[in-house]
Structure 1
Amino acid sequence: MARYDEIGIGYALGRRTDPRWLAPVVDALGAARSVLDVGSGTGSYEPPGRRVVAVEPSAEMIRQRRPGAAPVVRAVAEALPFAAGTFDAALAVLTVHHWPDWRRGLDELRRVAPRQVVLAYDTALHNDFWLVREYVPEVAALERSRPSAAEIADHLGASSVLPLPVPWDFTDGVFPAHWRRPEAYLDPAVRRACSALAQTAPSAVERGMKRLRADLESGRWHADHAELLALPEWDAGFRLMVAAS
């Protein structure tokens, strides 16, 4: 069973396309007319105006794809069912950290397309997020087991690496999306949309949420993190990489 068949229920409700990330993703694709979107999920960052084919292993995620989304093939990144050079570009948005053999998956991106566009994140910066440091430190072990953006960029031989900061009112519920809206993490639906929390022991998450709720009620969280409240965006480590093979 694909991982997201278990943790992806209701995913589309919390993970919605944010145009402030879609625009740089589209720009990174350059003049590519045909795009393979690997690990597409519900299709949040499929570029408009291109011929897109999606690859997604999870039946649950495929079920949640919106009407009009690109045609989807159920397959895994490590064994893409396409001939070499089939597409102008291969796109992978926040998916590489889920691939069991991520290096093989990246090699497959290079095999099927001469241009690779990958959005990943710096795991060390994720682990420096206040939610991990102060409330659910158990997440750190999971993040340390995942490939970091620098490793991915090195394996691809990326020609550019662009930081994508997270706006304070970000609409795509990635794990650090609510860095300035801490009360959001008390919502179980928000937590289910974050794989880092969905894959952490429920007892650890509940213990952290109990502590967070208490700190919000007492005002301690706001006192400890007052510097965040005036920031329009924050660098959580997300990096958009472009490589050409």
Structure 2
Amino acid sequence: MTAYDRIGVGYARGRRTDPRWLAPLLDALGDAASVLDVGSGTGSYEPPGRRVAAVEPSAEMIRQRPPGAAPVVRAVAEALPFAACTFDAALAVLTVHHWPDWRRGLAELRRVARRQVVLAYDTARHKDFWLVREYVPEVAELERSRPSASDIAASLGARSVVPLPVPWDFTDGVFPAHWRRPEAYLDPAVRQACSALAQTAPGAVARGMARLRADLASGRWHEEHRDLLELPEWDAGFRLITS
């Protein structure tokens, strides 16, 4: 059983494709006619109009793939069941930080495809996110164990690293998606869709949510973070890496 067989229940309800991220992903794929989506999850960012195959280790995530989604193979990034140069591009969206041997997984992306498009994030930015810094600092320990976008870019020999800011009304419930909507984190379903919170000790998360609820009720959160309230988007550290 993978981690996502445990924490991925209901994932598709909270993690929905946002066109403001899909567009740059499609641009990064360029003219690639065949794409392998590695660590595909529910297939949120699989490109339409191309030949797509998917690789996903979690049976729970595969179960949530919608009708008509790309064919999926249950496998891991570190051992892709395809011959060299099978695909024009390999796509990996917010998955590399979950791979036990991420360097080997990236080497596999390079083996099976001439182009690699990886969406990752700067772990330092996530560790400094207000939700971590002020409410659930235990998440920082998890982030310290994960590769950062700069590590991934260096390993791939990236030719392009582009920031993808998070709009204030982002529809894909990534961990910092609700940076301007703090009350969303009080919803257990929202937290379940964020692996950083779902993989943190429940007691630590519960204590943090109690503090957040109190600070929202008192107005303290809005006073201390009033600089965020008028921003249309925020750089949470997400980086689109192309090699």
TM-score bucket (shorter structure): over 0.9
In structure 2, the residue corresponding to 1:214 is in which secondary structure?
helix
In structure 2, the residue corresponding to 1:109 is in which secondary structure?
helix
Unaligned runs of 5+ in 2: none
Report the counterpart of residue 140 of structure 2 in structure 1: 140
Residue 193 of structure 1 deviates from its aligned partner by: 0.1
Residue 44 of structure 1 deviates from its aligned partner by: 0.1
TM-score, normalised on structure 1?
A: 0.99
Report the counterpart of residue 17 of structure 1 in structure 2: 17
Residue 3 of structure 1 deviates from its aligned partner by: 1.1
In structure 2, the residue corresponding to 1:153 is in which secondary structure?
helix
Report the counterpart of residue 223 of structure 1 in structure 2: 223
Aligned AA for 1:9?
V
Residue 65 of structure 1 deviates from its aligned partner by: 0.4
Whether 1:72 and 2:72 are equivalent positions in the alignment is yes
Shift >2 Å, 4+ stretches: none
Residue 67 of structure 1 deviates from its aligned partner by: 1.0
In structure 1, the residue corresponding to 2:37 is in which secondary structure?
strand
Q: Distance in 1 between matches of 2:159 and 2:72?
A: 29
Residue 90 of structure 1 deviates from its aligned partner by: 0.2
Residue 2 of structure 1 deviates from its aligned partner by: 1.2
Q: Distance in 2 between matches of 1:167 and 1:93?
A: 18
Q: Distance in 2 between matches of 1:32 and 1:3?
A: 31
Aligned AA for 2:145?
S
Whether 1:54 and 2:51 are equivalent positions in the alignment is no
Identity over the aligned pairs, expressed in percent? 85
Q: Distance in 2 between matches of 1:67 and 1:207?
A: 39
Q: Distance in 2 between matches of 1:68 and 1:235?
A: 33
Residue 103 of structure 1 deviates from its aligned partner by: 0.1
Q: Distance in 2 between matches of 1:210 and 1:3?
A: 26
Within a 5 Å distance, the mapping from 1:184-199 to structure 2 comes to 184-199=184-199
Q: Distance in 1 between matches of 2:110 and 2:30?
A: 16
Aligned AA for 1:106?
L
Q: Distance in 2 between matches of 1:41 and 1:172?
A: 13
Residue 35 of structure 1 deviates from its aligned partner by: 0.1
Q: Distance in 1 between matches of 2:72 and 2:212?
A: 40
Report the counterpart of residue 89 of structure 1 in structure 2: 89
CA deviations over 1:113-171 (Å, ceiling 9, x no partner): 01000000000000110000000000000001000000000000000000000000000
Aligned residues: 243
Whether 1:214 and 2:221 are equivalent positions in the alignment is no
In structure 2, the residue corresponding to 1:49 is in which secondary structure?
coil
Report the counterpart of residue 150 of structure 1 in structure 2: 150
Report the counterpart of residue 63 of structure 2 in structure 1: 63
TM-score, normalised on structure 2?
A: 1.00
Aligned AA for 1:2?
T
CA deviations over 1:33-65 (Å, ceiling 9, x no partner): 000000000000000111000000000000000
Q: Distance in 2 between matches of 1:4 and 1:53?
A: 20
CA deviations over 1:4-49 (Å, ceiling 9, x no partner): 0000000000000000000000100010000000000000000011
Within a 5 Å distance, the mapping from 1:97-136 to structure 2 comes to 97-136=97-136
Q: Distance in 2 between matches of 1:84 and 1:96?
A: 20
In structure 2, the residue corresponding to 1:69 is in which secondary structure?
coil
Q: Distance in 2 between matches of 1:108 and 1:3?
A: 21
In structure 2, the residue corresponding to 1:230 is in which secondary structure?
coil
